[in-house]
Each structure stands twice: as structure tokens, then as C-alpha cells.
Chains A and B, each alone.
Chain A
Amino acid sequence: MNICVKGIIFDIKHYSINDGPGIRTTVFFKGCPLRCWWCHNPESQSRHEEVVIRERSLDGRSFTVEEISGRWVEAEEVIREIEKDGIYYDQSGGGITFSGGEPLMQPVFLLELLKMSKERGYHTALDTCGHVDETVLKQVMDHVDLFLYDLKLIDAEEHLKYTGVTNEKVLKNLILLSDMGKKIIIRIPVIPGITDTPKNITALSNLLTELNGLDRIDLLPYHMIAKSKYQRLNMNYKLEELQEPSLERLKELKEVFEGIGMKVTVGG
């Protein structure tokens, strides 16, 4: 196969230890069908290259630098970067995680990378929001060892309000993966007053008890660190005043999901 498959990514992070087993490299795809209010990777939303304004200082003098977020790259180039850490995957039982953005928005590129990873014997994980056509998911799922499946809101209208899309595909695809016996870790962003309402938590619990193959639930507490990223990108941040969830609240939620027999971690 010598066709050159290209995609757009915005980062490759090494020594990623919270995105699947072992020591991993995470490839961040650019472009996402959702617009979650709390998104902490706003640079991942657009499928296009974007100019980022960054202040860098040297000896107290500050320099304004324009950086481009997003880079069109060939799969071959990405795999060369991934391969550099082969010894760490081998030693730790780690591998590659495809995240974003939404990797499934670039299915041909993703599939190529998944195949190349599997050829090299690497464990693969796919971090997805699930808002994708079933056919696309079916194309790639055989090459994915672990799904990191993001689940936010069960109520369709609220999902639409806070993410910009309805959750019909999200829920359907989750059930599909579960029925196919795929290994899944559910990731729930804990956004105070939005995803952690009693109503949503109950609905999530009800859904999750129905599913097979769930490895674990990761509760991902809301972080305020994204604020400066929005400023750099000149984007509007809707959660200006929102506080991070308290440790007690996280503990309560952890207990709720443990109560339905799940293994739960906080922070992934």
C-alpha cells in the first residue's frame, strides 16, 4: 500500500498514562462534530489549521508568536513518531491512543494508522464521542483493542444544548460496541450543574447497568485550565464562572457508580 493517506492532527503526546493501559502515545486528531461547552481542547474543534497567538518570554522580554494549530500529515510520518516509543509500549503493555477532536471524523486516515499500529503489534485505543455513522464505526472497530467512550448527557435536549448535537448516534453506537463484545471504558466529564445532576446520573447508571464489556468508568472532573486556551484562540468561553467539582462530590459520584458494580477511577 503506497497510497499516501493524510490527515490533520494537532498534537502527539508521549508518556500518556491515563488513556488506556501502560505507557502510551496519544495522537490528537483535529476536528470534532461536537461543541461541548466545557471542551478543554478548543483547538481540536475546527478541522482546519488555525492561527494561535502565543506569548513567549525570554529574559523578561515577551515575544508574541503566531503558531499554527493543526498540521496535515501523512500516516507514515505519524507512525514514525509513534514507533519511537516502541520499547515503552513493549515494556509496559502500552500502545497508541487516538483522540482528538474526533478521530472518526477522519476514518480513512484513522483506519490506516490503526492498521499500521496493529502490524507493529501495538495495543490500540480509540477515544471517541460516538457521534458518527454506524458504518464508519464498523469499518474500524476490528482494529481497536479498547474504546474510550465519552458519555455526557442522556437527555437528548440537554445533549443538544450543551454539545450542539443530539445523542441518538452516541447511544446507538455504544450499544452496538457493547453487543459486539468490545472492551469499553466509559468516560464521563463531571461538569457541575450540567452532567452531574441527579437526573443525569440516574439515567447514566440505568444505561450502564444494561451494557456488557464495560471495563471501567473514568470520571473526568471539569478543569478551569482551558480558559487561557480560549483566549489564545480568540474563542468565547461559556463557562467563565464555573467552579471545579469538589473532591467530596467526586467521591459521591464514584460511590454511585461503584454501587452499580462498576470499577471507577477519577481523572482517568
Chain B
Amino acid sequence: MNNRISKLREQSLRAVNRISAERALLVTEFYMSDLAQQVSIPVKRALTFKYILEHKRICINEGELIVGERGPAPKATPSYPEVCLHSLQDLDILNSRPKVSFKVDDETRKAYEDIIIPFWKGKSHRERLFREMDQAWIDSYQAGVFTEFQEQRAPGHTVLGGKIYRKGFLDLKDQIRKNMEKLDFYADPQAMDKREELRAMEIVADALILYAERHAQELEKLADGEPDPSRKAELNELAAICRRVPAHAPQTFHEALQYYWFVHLGVITETNPWDSFNPGRLDQHLYPFYKRETEAGTLTKERAKEILQSFWVKFNNHPAPPKVGVTALESNTYTDFALINVGGLTSDGKDAVNEMSYLILDVIEEMRLLQPSSMVQISKQNPDNLLKRAARILKTGFGQPSIFNTDSIIQELMRQGKSIEDARNGGASGCVESGAFGTEAYWLTGYFNLTKVLEITLNNGFDPRTGKQIGLQTGDVTSFTAFDQVMEAFEKQLRHFIDIKIKGNNIIEKLFGDYIPVPFLSLLVDDCIDNARDYNRGGARYNTSYIQGVGLGSITDILTSLRYNVFDTTKVTMAEMLDALKSNFEGCDELRFDLVYNTPKYGNDDDYADQHAVSVFNMFYQAVNDRPTARGGKFRINMLPTTSHVYFGSVIGATPDGRKAGLPLSEGISPFQGSDKKGPTAVLKSAARIDHLKTGGTLLNQKFTPQLFEGERGIESLVQLIRSYFRMDGHHIQFNVVNADTLRDAQKFPEKYQDLIVRVAGYSDYFNDLGKDLQDEIIRRTEHTEF
């Protein structure tokens, strides 16, 4: 990378996270104004957005080619008091927590104390949410049966399609006006709601154009004072770009990226949406510009790369908004989840790999940044060459890109009712979530602790940790005479808790629709404009809400152990097993040894164990799939944990697979750490046992030491291994290529490993930023694979 990029990259890596009160103050000011009291909620939200973009400080960093920051400086992170209000204590925790702190200066703290907290206390979405939840929900939530995504952040989880590369915001305004004209106040009872939504969209479209204009003015001011003639010309060119986009459709490669970046800023300024908004199929969107300009001689490959690299830095300048309450203290991760897609198929079903795909992979390899994250989509039509290129990057131990099966994603999306073109225009986002880019609002609503439900089942509905009867009385398991009775009881219990979760979700969806509509995001996702309906109210063409199952490996091992040790070999009675669990295996070393070493486990291509993964998966699927959501969509499942398997393990006592109380569960659909003993082919076979096509994504983490990647042979075998998994409809696979000694050293001497990035679970993070328990877990995983 050249000097300019390496400076920008350094600046981004060195920038300190801080909380900026700028947005919170502007939102508060506007909400206090008379105007805010006079308009409908969608218009109020639109005017809030406009007020922020009119007044926030413009930040242009030295040497950058893509401009615009969400806060007043890189990593100056705004807060969203209307969604979740930080208390002074939260701010103090964020300021002082050892992992990923956010500095809070006195001025910010004072703004919170004097203005922000007094105004928002009791009015924030989060407080509203907790007031609305019933006791069953609160009990389950506190027991750790599930988490709630939308409790601190607004629903997001959508990815932009190709629209902005063809249309400017003025074109979108035309479309809004046409829909406005079509409103039928005589026959359509919703005409008023629609008008307010369309008005709101018009306001936010103007706001972003205005925001770009403010950048143009600032750039010209900088150009005036710039002594270096080449940078001066560049600043003037950037100003011209900001006047063309987003108002008009982009004409150049550079305009396309700057346009996207303004849109990105708009989305993450409007609210703090989970979590993955990104340009999606970037190689597809950029290639036509790149091709046209390189052929015309107006763009070189080097310049295109430099612009892309500057674009990469922008993502890295934007950490996830800081959390509140207990998660502010414990949360292990502060990256967002922008996942750039490379490869896959075109909308007419052809191999989509192009020159831009490889150029993007070059950028990923050189930049080695946490954000944006990246993946390659591999269809049977894509060349091995793309996969090999990706494997060579993986080999460097960077954890990116992850590898996805395009053909599975398309089938998953079509099974859910998307058109084949919309499905092909999709991909994966966040960790592993399938989505139709540009047309779907697919919300992740929370992780679901399958293993916790089993623990509650083994205790006849009682939660040993919180000491409450929160589940159904499904029977005393010590009286069960057949293993099937355990499964039946579990299924009843599972349905009970899924019902609680779904009821909560439907209330929360409605709260967002009613109180926090997002007219800006609605502009971007089809068909919100034509439906004159907000993204948060089901305006998108496709609306999906996911519940994410966690701990498949652990629950499979637990059920397998019960079947094997209690019912089949009758080595122990159920009562003895439960006593051993209660005592956390105190004095039961021999039993525990047998449970760990001499009991069949998931991940070894062994039907005896794997059948339970299939049963649990099917029960989970049956309990969730196809149920209606409050905004007119459907509930679906996927199988991914992010870092919740650590939290979920912490609320579960000792388990019959030999796991001690409080330790992490297995993550994604990967086997429990250390229990896969037959190598990768067996892991992949086990993981492919469940029907991936019935999900919206599964996560499989495969740990490799660098040795296995060695030579052409190592790479080629890896390619064939992945292809085989994909032939079995596997959705996703990712590789962590590090060795345990390196990690241990990093734990001891974090200062030596500032740039060490590891794949955690569906995303990468700095090793130093992880909590010690998660670090330990990653070391254990790594160790297991070494030989």
C-alpha cells in the first residue's frame, strides 16, 4: 500500500474510541423543539435526521479519498438516547473497562448529566420495551434462555442492493412524489399513514443531499488553503463528487464508492441498527464502473485500489455503538459486522467472478483491518481459482475471508419465497445470515439457548441458577424409563420458551414500527417507497425475523451422553447423573473422565451422536419456522452464536457431556471444543447432517494450523474439502489459522500482538480485545488441532 493509505490505516488503528455527545445533544434539542411536537412520528424522525445532518460537525481527514464520518472524528462514536439511554454509571464503565474502552470526557459526561439523561429518562425505547414485557419473558431473559437484539439497538440487518448505482436521490424523490400522487384518501384507510411516511422519506432524501453539499463546501475551503497543488486538485475533485452524489446516479468508480459511503453514514446516523449494513456484492456493483473507466483510460488499477483502500479505512473508523447496563461491562465485541461479499452468481445465474473480485481480495489481504469483514461466495459455477486465492489469504492467519455456499444461500432464500433473481442478488451478511440484498428486512431477534432449555427440562421446569420455576412441569426425569421421554419433555419445554420469545418479538417489532420508524433506511430497501410503508413496519419486499439457535454441539453431546450412559449402557442412573451435575462433578472424576473421553460425541461422523443434532434441529425448526411476525413477515431459524455461547455457558451448571458449570458451550454448528477427534472430513459430515437449506444460515468454525495449508497440495485439498461440504449443502465454513503458543504468548504479552486478529465466531476480532475466558477458549480450540 502506498504512503497515503498506510498513513490513513495507521490513523484508524491508533484512533481512540470515544463517546461523542454530538448526536445525542442534537436529537435532544430537536425533540424539545415545538416543531417536533407538531408532526407525525415518521416526519418527526425524518426531521430529527435532517437536524443532525444540518448541524453535525463535518470531518475530513488528511489525505483521504472517501469523506464523511459518523461522529466528529474517527472512532468518535455517537449514542442513541431515543433507543437506549446511557446512565452516568454506564459511561463510567465504558470509560474504564479494560477491554475496548470508550473514553468519555468531562464535557460529554456533563452533557449527559445536565441535558440528555433528564430529557430521555423513561422515554427511551429500551425502557419502553422492558415496561411492555411480561413476567414470563423477564424470567426467561434473566435466566439466560434467550437474548434480545432489539433491546439496545434498532432492527437493521439488511444489506444494500444495486439501486444506488443506477439512481440518484433525486430519482428516488421522483418515485416518492409519484407514489404521493397515487394516494387514495377516499378508498384507502391507510392513505394518511402512507402520506406521512412518504413525506418523511422526502425529507431524509433532501437531508442527505444537503449533507453531501456541506462536505463539498468544506472540501473547497480546504482546497483554498492547500499548498500542495496535487492535493488541492484532489480536494476540488472530491467537492465536485459530493455535489453529484448522492443527488445523481454515479458516473464513476470514485462517485459510486463515495455515494455508498454517504448512504452508509445516513443509515448508521438515523439509528443504531444491528449491525451489518454494507454494500454487499461490491465486486458486482463496482465492476461496470471499473471496466468502463479502465477501458477508457480514465482510471488505473492502482488508483482504483487506492480508492478502495481509503473506503476500507472508513469502515474501520466506525466501531459499534457502545452498549449499556450489564452488557456494557461484559460485551466482548465492539466491531460491527459489515461483510463484503465477493463472487457468487449474477441475477441471471452466471458465474459472477470478475476482475474486481480479485482486486477486492488484494485489498483485503493488504489492509488487514477488522472492518469491513469479508467473505467469498462460492457457487459450483465459480472457479477454484477464487477459492484458492481466498485460501492463501486465510493461511496468513487473518480469519478473513470466510467461505459461503452461494447455491445453498439461493435455495434457502427461494424456500422462503423469494424470486430466483432476488435470491441470486443476495448473499450473506453479519456473521452468516442469508438475505436478499436490497429487498429484504431480515432481523436477528436474539440468540436462543437450546442447552439451557434442556437443563430446565432435566430439572422439571425449574431453573437451578435463578431458583425459579420458569418452565413447564414436564416430569421428573429420574422416573423416565426410556430416552424418548427426555426428548418429548424437551420438545414441550422448547415450544414453551419459543412462544415466550415470539410474543416478546412481536411486541418489540410493533414498538419500533410505532415509535422509531426509519424513513432513511426505507428509501434504500425496496419496496418501501412503492408500498409507502416504513422498513420497520414491513415495507420491504421480504420481511423475516430470525431466532438464532446456539449450542447445537453441546446439546447433542448432552443428549448423546444421557442416551448412552443412562439408558443404553446404564453405566449410571439418571439420579446419579443429576447428583454429579449438582455437585459440579465434585468427587466424580472417574465419571467425568468417562463422559469426556468414553462417550460418543458430535463432530465425528457418528450416527449415534449426530442423530440428536438432527432431532434438536428439527424440533427448533418446527417450533419457529413460518410463524407470522408483527410486521407481516415470517419467523425463521438460523444457527449462529457470535459470542453468546460464552454467556449462555455461564448461566448453565455442569452438563452430562462432562462440561463443568459456567464454561462456554459449543459455538455455531461446530463440535464442542476438543470433542472432534476424527479430523475435518468427519466434522463436515456431522455438520452437514442437519438440513441447512431450512435455515437462514449456519456457522461452522474449523480450526487449522498453518501447516495444513502448506504447499499447493495443502491449498488444493482445502479447496476440495470446502467443495465437498458445499456439495452436502453446507452453508458456510471459516478457518482459524493460528497456533496455541502464539496465542498464549499473546495473552502474556498483549503488547506484542496488537494486530493479532482471530476468527471468533462468524467474525474476526482483535485477540487482545477478547475477554480472558474467550481467549482461553480459543487457545483450547487451537491446541486441540495441533499435532
Residues of chain A with a CB closer than 8 A to B720's CB: 22-23, 88, 91-92, 94
Select from chain B the residue with minimum beta-carbon distance to A93: B720
Q: Given A58-B589, A58-B593, A85–B717 Cβ distance below 8 Å?
A: no
A88 touches B721 (CB 8 A): yes
Residues of chain B with a CB closer than 8 A to A13's CB: 679
Q: How far, in angstroms, from A215 to B604 measured CA to CA in the complex? A: 34
Q: How far, in angstroms, from A87 to B597 measured CA to CA in the complex? A: 29
Q: Given A63-B593, A92-B717, A87–B724 Cβ distance below 8 Å?
A: yes
B713 touches A85 (CB 8 A): no
Residues of chain A with a CB closer than 8 A to B728's CB: 87
Name the residue among B593, B596, B720 with the largest chain A CB count within 10 angstroms. Answer: B720
B713 touches A17 (CB 8 A): yes
Residues of chain A with a CB closer than 8 A to B714's CB: 17
Residues of chain B with a CB closer than 8 A to A84's CB: 605, 681-682, 685
B680 lies within 8 A of chain A by Cβ: yes
Q: How far, in angstroms, from A90 to B723 measured CA to CA in the complex? A: 11
B589 touches A15 (CB 8 A): no
B593 touches A23 (CB 8 A): no
Q: How far, in angstroms, from A114 to B584 measured CA to CA in the complex? A: 50
B57 lies within 8 A of chain A by Cβ: no
Query: Would you give the 0/1 interface string for A76-98, flagging 1 where the beta carbon is closer than 8 Å to chain B?
Result: 00000000110110111010000
Q: Given A84-B605, A87-B728, A14–B597 Cβ distance below 8 Å?
A: no
B682 touches A87 (CB 8 A): no
Q: How far, in angstroms, from A174 to B720 measured CA to CA in the complex? A: 32
A58 touches B596 (CB 8 A): yes
A23 touches B596 (CB 8 A): no
Q: How far, in angstroms, from A17 to B707 measured CA to CA in the complex? A: 12
Q: How far, in angstroms, from A15 to B589 measured CA to CA in the complex? A: 33
Residues of chain B with a CB closer than 8 A to A22's CB: 717, 720
Query: Would you give the 0/1 interface string for A33-62, flagging 1 where the beta carbon is closer than 8 Å to chain B?
Result: 000000000000000000000001011010
B724 touches A92 (CB 8 A): yes
B727 lies within 8 A of chain A by Cβ: yes
Identify A14's interface contact among B589, B593, B678, CB under 8 A.
Answer: B678
Residues of chain B with a CB closer than 8 A to A92's CB: 716-717, 720-721, 723-724
Q: How far, in angstroms, from A63 to B716 measured CA to CA in the complex? A: 40
Identify B681's interface contact among A15, A61, A65, A90, CB under 8 A.
Answer: A15
Residues of chain A with a CB closer than 8 A to B660's CB: 59
A61 touches B589 (CB 8 A): yes
A18 lies within 8 A of chain B by Cβ: yes
A23 touches B724 (CB 8 A): yes
The dominant DSSP class at the B interface is helix
Q: How far, in angstroms, from A165 to B570 measured CA to CA in the complex? A: 51
Q: Which of A108-161 contact B (CB under 8 A)?
A: none
B592 lies within 8 A of chain A by Cβ: yes
Residues of chain B with a CB closer than 8 A to A14's CB: 678-682
B717 touches A23 (CB 8 A): yes
Interface size range of chain B in the complex: 20 to 34
Q: How far, in angstroms, from A65 to B597 measured CA to CA in the complex? A: 11
Q: How far, in angstroms, from A87 to B720 measured CA to CA in the complex? A: 10
Q: Given A17-B713, A23-B721, A88–B681 Cβ distance below 8 Å?
A: yes
A91 touches B727 (CB 8 A): yes
Q: Given A87-B728, A88-B720, A91-B724, A15–B679 Cβ distance below 8 Å?
A: yes
Q: How far, in angstroms, from A13 to B681 measured CA to CA in the complex? A: 10
Q: How far, in angstroms, from A85 to B596 measured CA to CA in the complex? A: 25
Q: How far, in angstroms, from A268 to B682 measured CA to CA in the complex? A: 23
Query: Would you give the 0/1 interface string for A1-38, flagging 1 where the beta carbon is closer than 8 Å to chain B?
Result: 00000000000011101100011000000000000000
Residues of chain B with a CB closer than 8 A to A23's CB: 681, 717, 720-721, 724
A15 touches B680 (CB 8 A): yes
Q: How far, in angstroms, from A91 to B597 measured CA to CA in the complex? A: 33
Q: How far, in angstroms, from A13 to B787 measured CA to CA in the complex? A: 13
B713 touches A18 (CB 8 A): yes
Identify B727's interface contact among A58, A87, A94, CB under 8 A.
Answer: A87
Q: How far, in angstroms, from A23 to B724 measured CA to CA in the complex? A: 10
Q: How far, in angstroms, from A15 to B679 measured CA to CA in the complex? A: 7
Residues of chain A with a CB closer than 8 A to B721's CB: 15, 23, 88, 92
Select from chain B the residue with minimum beta-carbon distance to A81: B605
Q: How far, in angstroms, from A88 to B597 measured CA to CA in the complex? A: 28
Q: Given A14-B681, A15-B680, A88–B713 Cβ distance below 8 Å?
A: no
Residues of chain A with a CB closer than 8 A to B682's CB: 14, 84
Instruction: Quote the shortest CB–CB distance from A177 to chain B (angstroms).
Output: 24
Name the residue among A14, A22, A56, A59 with the largest chain B CB count within 10 angstroms. Answer: A14
Residues of chain B with a CB closer than 8 A to A63's CB: 589, 593
Select from chain A the residue with minimum beta-carbon distance to B682: A14
Q: How far, in angstroms, from A256 to B639 measured CA to CA in the complex? A: 54
Instruction: Quote the shortest CB–CB distance from A78 to chain B (angstroms).
Output: 15
Select from chain A the residue with minimum beta-carbon distance to B714: A17
Select from chain B the residue with minimum beta-carbon distance to A59: B660
Residues of chain A with a CB closer than 8 A to B597's CB: 56, 58, 65
Instruction: Quote the shortest CB–CB distance from B87 to chain A (angstroms).
Output: 40
Select from chain B the residue with minimum beta-carbon distance to A12: B678
Query: Would you give the 0/1 interface string for B655-689, flagging 1 where the beta carbon is closer than 8 Å to chain A?
Result: 00000100000000000000000111110010000
Residues of chain A with a CB closer than 8 A to B596's CB: 58
Instruction: Quote the shortest CB–CB distance from A265 to chain B (angstroms).
Output: 8
Select from chain A the residue with minimum beta-carbon distance to B710: A267
Residues of chain B with a CB closer than 8 A to A18's CB: 713
Instruction: Quote the shortest CB–CB distance from B382 to chain A (angstroms).
Output: 15
Select from chain A the residue with minimum beta-carbon distance to B606: A84
Q: How far, in angstroms, from A87 to B605 measured CA to CA in the complex? A: 13
Q: Which of B705-759 contact A (CB under 8 A)?
A: 713-714, 716-717, 720-721, 723-724, 727-728
Q: How far, in angstroms, from A101 to B128 measured CA to CA in the complex? A: 71
Instruction: Quote the shortest CB–CB distance from B419 to chain A (angstroms).
Output: 31
Instruction: Quote the shortest CB–CB distance from B262 to chain A (angstroms).
Output: 45
Q: How far, in angstroms, from A88 to B720 measured CA to CA in the complex? A: 7
Instruction: Quote the shortest CB–CB distance from B700 to chain A (angstroms).
Output: 15
Q: How far, in angstroms, from A18 to B685 measured CA to CA in the complex? A: 21
Q: How far, in angstroms, from A18 to B714 measured CA to CA in the complex? A: 9
Q: How far, in angstroms, from A58 to B596 measured CA to CA in the complex? A: 9
Residues of chain A with a CB closer than 8 A to B717's CB: 15, 17, 22-23, 92
Select from chain B the residue with minimum beta-carbon distance to A56: B597
Instruction: Quote the shortest CB–CB distance from B742 to chain A (angstroms).
Output: 20
Instruction: Quote the shortest CB–CB distance from B709 to chain A (angstroms).
Output: 11
Residues of chain A with a CB closer than 8 A to B723's CB: 91-92
Instruction: Quote the shortest CB–CB distance from B710 to chain A (angstroms).
Output: 8
Instruction: Quote the shortest CB–CB distance from B291 to chain A (angstroms).
Output: 33
Instruction: Quote the shortest CB–CB distance from A9 to chain B (angstroms).
Output: 15
Query: Would you give the 0/1 interface string for A59-72, flagging 1 where the beta carbon is closer than 8 Å to chain B?
Result: 10101010000000
Instruction: Quote the shortest CB–CB distance from B663 to chain A (angstroms).
Output: 11
Q: A58-B596, A84-B682, A90-B724 are in contact. List 7 more A-B contacts (CB 8 A).
A: A17-B714, A18-B713, A85-B685, A87-B727, A91-B720, A92-B721, A94-B720
Q: Which 6 A-B pairs have the closest CB atoms?
A: A92-B720, A17-B717, A15-B679, A91-B724, A14-B681, A14-B679
Q: Which B residues form the contact surface with A (CB < 8 A)?
A: 589, 592-593, 596-597, 605, 660, 678-682, 685, 713-714, 716-717, 720-721, 723-724, 727-728
Q: Which A residues form the contact surface with B (CB < 8 A)?
A: 13-15, 17-18, 22-23, 56, 58-59, 61, 63, 65, 84-85, 87-88, 90-92, 94
A/B interface sample: 11 pairs, CB < 8 A: A14-B678, A15-B679, A17-B714, A22-B720, A59-B660, A65-B597, A85-B681, A88-B681, A88-B721, A88-B724, A91-B727
